[in-house]
């Protein structure tokens, strides 16, 4: 039997109703969760990123949330220490004037802070490489008793108790209940999007209208022959762990060996990037050098010979050191100053939000 034909107007009413429902529901979805995608430009002179935003799509809302968390002192036990306390923008995101970092109750950490820009390209995190992935980094400073001393679980409870944060997390990640996943993803979005690649050197190598002075160029050449085997690529690190002879006593800090448990790694630390190095003093994992002049003199005459000292730092005559005259040292230093990215230091997009 053939179905009785509906009058035309009934069909129309059906179609219109469906359309109205569709439009309403999409309008509702628009209201609750449509973060604005953020596109990052990868500098042409940089290696490939190590962090993959495919698993944590970068959005304006996610980035802004990460920024708010980064500067929020209430995520520490005493309510006054935020990530930004030890990673200060005017000091290229390290803690200025500190050889060891200051955390809750004015306690001292045991290492010098590392900068957080270009985290997108790092192979591992911390001086000993103890954390392999950017997503996991914040757990360490949050829970560290001399840094922020706040268990991740307690931080998440605190965030869930805040109406403001609940709505920000909903806008960024579409969730009603905040979990560690969204918290860590927000931090990773803020840090991952902080690219520092606009120094004089960058604009020179990318042929963007900058030139280097004769001194700086000679410094660059010296650097390429004496330093770039470890401070490699335009990130100025090969991401490896090495002992560059600053100490003979590794009892209080074994470096990479604390992660691998391998005696051959005692005294090896991550080769740091030298970007913005003019601002990141004091230098080395223990902050043992105040100035770049001291660092250069260290490579020339101060290298201490221990079993794990990097072989590249041994001369043919069996003595340690990279021989450099005072003039050569000065030239290298003037080159290192071309790695300063003043745009990073003054970019309001990375500063403490005022809301």
The residues binding ligand HEC (CB under 6 A) are 81, 83, 85-87, 101-103, 109, 111, 113-114, 116, 119, 122, 125-127, 137-138, 141-142, 147-148, 187, 191, 226-227, 229-231, 242, 244, 246, 269, 271-272, 274, 277, 280, 283-285, 292, 295-296, 299, 310, 312-313, 322, 332
Q: Which is nearer to ligand HEC, 10 or 195 (CB)?
A: 195
| Nearest distance from C-beta of residue 345 to ligand HEC, angstroms | 16
Distance in Å from the first CA to the final CA of the chain: 69
Q: How far is the CB of 183 from ligand HEC (least distance, A)?
A: 10
**C-beta of residue 169 within 8 angstroms of C-beta of residue 176:** no
Identity of the residue, 147 or 182, whose beta carbon is nearer to ligand HEC in the bound complex = 147
Greatest CA span in the chain, whole angstroms?
104
139 closest CA partner among 108, 103, 180, 168: 180
Closest CA to 192 of 90, 75, 100, 55: 55
The residue among 165 and 187 lying less far from ligand HEC, judged by its C-beta, is: 187
Q: Which is nearer to ligand HEC, 110 or 177 (CB)?
A: 110
> What is the token pair recorded at 31?
């209201």
Q: Nearest approach, Cβ of 121 to ligand HEC (angstroms)? A: 10
Q: Identify the residue whose tokens are 């050197």.
A: 201
| CB nearer to ligand HEC: pick between 33 and 131 | 131
Chain Cα centroid distance, residue 40: 15
CB within 8 Å of 53: residues ≥ 6 apart: 40, 189, 192
Q: How far is the CB of 12 from ligand HEC (least distance, A)?
A: 57
Q: Six-digit token pair at 207?
A: 């042929």
- Closer to ligand HEC by CB, 35 or 141: give it: 141
Task: For residue 340, give Cα distances in angstroms to 92, 127, 139, 220, 334.
Answer: 9, 22, 30, 14, 11
Shortest Cβ 177–ligand HEC spacing (Å): 21
For the CB of residue 158, give the shortest distance to ligand HEC in the complex, in Å: 13
Query: Cβ distance 92 to 345 under 8 Å?
Result: yes
């Amino acid at each position: 039997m053939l179905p009785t034909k509906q009058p035309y107007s009934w069909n129309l009413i059906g179609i219109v109703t469906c359309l109205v429902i569709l439009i309403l529901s999409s309008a509702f979805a628009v209201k609750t969760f449509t973060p604005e995608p953020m596109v990052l430009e990868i500098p042409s002179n940089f290696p490939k990123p190590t962090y993959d935003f495919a698993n944590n799509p970068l959005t304006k809302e996610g980035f802004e949330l990460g920024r708010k968390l980064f500067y929020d002192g209430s995520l520490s036990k005493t309510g006054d220490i935020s990530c930004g306390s030890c990673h200060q923008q005017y000091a290229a995101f390290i803690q200025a004037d500190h050889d060891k970092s200051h955390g809750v109750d004015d306690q001292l950490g045991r290492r010098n802070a590392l900068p957080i820009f270009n985290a997108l390209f790092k192979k591992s995190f911390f001086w000993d490489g103890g954390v392999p992935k950017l997503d996991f980094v914040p757990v360490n400073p949050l829970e560290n008793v001399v840094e922020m001393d706040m268990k991740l679980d307690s931080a998440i409870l605190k965030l869930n108790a805040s109406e403001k944060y609940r709505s920000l997390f909903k806008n960024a990640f579409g969730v009603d209940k905040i979990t560690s996943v969204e918290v860590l993803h927000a931090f990773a979005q803020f840090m991952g999007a902080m690219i520092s690649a606009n120094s004089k050197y960058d604009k020179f190598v990318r042929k963007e209208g900058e030139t280097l002075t004769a001194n700086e160029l000679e410094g660059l050449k010296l650097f390429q022959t004496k330093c770039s085997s470890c401070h490699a690529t335009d990130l100025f690190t090969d991401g490896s762990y090495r002992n560059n002879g600053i100490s003979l006593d590794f009892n209080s800090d074994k470096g990479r060996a604390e992660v691998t448990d391998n005696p051959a790694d005692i005294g090896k630390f991550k080769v740091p990037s030298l970007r913005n190095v003019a601002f990141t003093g004091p230098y080395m994992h223990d902050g043992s050098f105040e100035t770049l002049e001291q660092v250069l003199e260290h490579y020339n005459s101060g290298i201490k010979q221990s079993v794990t000292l990097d072989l590249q730092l041994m001369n043919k005559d069996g003595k340690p050191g990279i021989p450099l005259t005072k003039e050569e040292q000065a030239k290298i230093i003037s080159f290192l100053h071309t790695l300063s990215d003043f745009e990073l230091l003054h970019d309001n997009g990375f500063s403490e939000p005022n809301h």
